[in-house]
Structure 1
């Protein structure tokens, strides 16, 4: 038995999976078998003074490549930082691109065990011990390690092993890159070279025939160029340069394979704060999702005016992710197992946020669920990686926080308490608007507050086009925004504010009963805790109110 033990004195592990973009915010955990072997090879060249892979080293890496390791991993906390890297110019003229640096925060003295079911001869084993002791990092250079070679692992460890079938309850499938079995790679390489030679011969034969010449076969130098496209064996595959591989169009390094491992679903734990003992018994009610775009289009975050479209796409992705086969989570659908709808609005609402410097761009989404997230919802929130909407650029999604409203209140100001709240996104009435009665603007707002177990507002005002605020009772509605009139009590009339004119105010499959969006101000007799979400589309980014003074 061969066991590698790695400790992380810096408390961090940085590594992006081979098939993921850095801005997806993913961490490769456990480290792939291919990454571990490449790190050992790099240590030989960088720390032990290698100039080539000698016979003993080749024997060592062939033996380790022939078996798939098992892992015993400490539980870590997923986190990330954002960096605006200069790509052009200097000083005030510098152009930057946003890069997300995702990492795993590990407890003090946490140890990763990597077990290979192989017995090594004395010389390869001694060499492996020297490599592991000299290895400075695993993953990125910031992920410092202290390694040692053990003859056996401690007792009582839980092992992450390759999957033979589907994952069991409490586990999730994670794909890791591993070296190909040496014999399998040799056969594949021979077939690849034969196909390339045949293709080249056909092309050269056609060229010779067009010139009236006799084709005598490809030259030795041409054949050597074809063979040079691939590593000679799996050990040489560990020496491949990532930049060159991507330049040559390889989607994965030649000489590698994808292996599914059964990782516990709680192996990576994203959170903002450590919950108290009392909070651990409660279901989380709020999740903060960070959005980022492809680094090649880093400034293409969606405008806040398109929030309803993006929130709908994100909601659909969460519904799909929360369905293991027996139905999605009611936290996202609002429908229980008996088919009964949630009329108290206790299922999840997606709230668009602009927490960054640009207040016109959507960079976070708060998923607020008063009923509390169940296990299916947890699975979806932990697992979502990307969302898209029509022809818009893809957005990468990272779970940045999960907990109670109180734990996220400092990060998200709209969750604070206040006496006065103002529209942050357009309020669209949920019913056709009438001048009086239960469908008047005032009564619709009061009824929406009642549905959400909030007190009636002492005053409801509408912002008009010149910046003044008029009482909701002054509204004289029509079907279109241009028909809506507010009488100011002096015999004069005004139009609603154009503040939300550019906002998308309709869901894709359920159009609103009216075609306008209003800017409202609500005043209460006593402080009320946010968030306040009212009206049509309030589960998808419309009708968001924040304490007076803004988000």
Structure 2
């Protein structure tokens, strides 16, 4: 066993989730620790090559509780940030957020049960050179230990885990070297699912969200048609060798994601992003087979209309509605933002609520203990259920669900769950729908 102990010397951790610029990261993701080790090795003149042995080995994590502190902001000189055009900046500085976790009293442990022999001595020397993690204002002490005590949380790698952490994949050190030599930020490492064996949460069968941004405002009422158009556009780029995850023939397949702007005071119900929900637990090659054709799409057709799509500029902040945790953080209560299309008509004497509960189980989640139905969504900005047009005939309705245990998202439920409909979002309280 190889165990790395990280002590936060001032009880705080300044680090942003790369997918959500104002959200704090906790616990520290293994790839962030790996990058700190690489930097420490080069900074102290030690060959970082032994760190290659940790690539592709998701560690276990043991850690305590921490609280999200008040998010601060830093005003950075605009000239320091990359800009895609030569036009002058319209302002002299740009706000950058500084999310922080506070009240950290316990160490964080990263444990590799099957680490190669002979790694202890070089890793101990490298770890001793790590002075901070995340931002420089997070001083840490890193050391190797032989025993790991019981901690409030223990995360184990799991294909169906409800937590996704960035883990250094094979070749990560080479990627970091190339990015450093080119003077650019390294790409975000791949995600690995984890399960907390201390406080269990029902996992979602869905993992990573890969969104593109539309070039103009598009009404979310056309969700199913947009999903069909995106599928056609991606498959045309993938060609005859398209992954089964994309065309859906012969096993599991990805879900086409149409992410709307809902749930806040100024929500207008337009589409924020179009892309893919990837099944949890797929390997890196399967992920690549989905990412490459999706990234090549620059427009899609739906009906007699066309909309341009693409990756947002690097300096553009990601809307909160496209943060994965907006749709995925564990909750006891969930409500739909796009209506659920029933998998079948109710049998004689059967309640529609029971059909919805069956659909939730069929989609891979626990059976809800309470189901409410109605034309209205619990989220501001979401249209009435009858204003949507599913891909085929059937019955559809907005729903609100309550579970006995916390369930991690995303929740995609119903007949058209692979085409944008039946998308649910966690809520604090389920209210009656009318």
Shorter-normalised TM range: 0.3 to 0.5
- Structure number with the higher strand fraction is 2
TM-score by structure 1 length? 0.36
Which structure is higher in helix share?
1
Larger Rg: 1
What is the TM-score of this pair, normalised by structure 2? 0.45
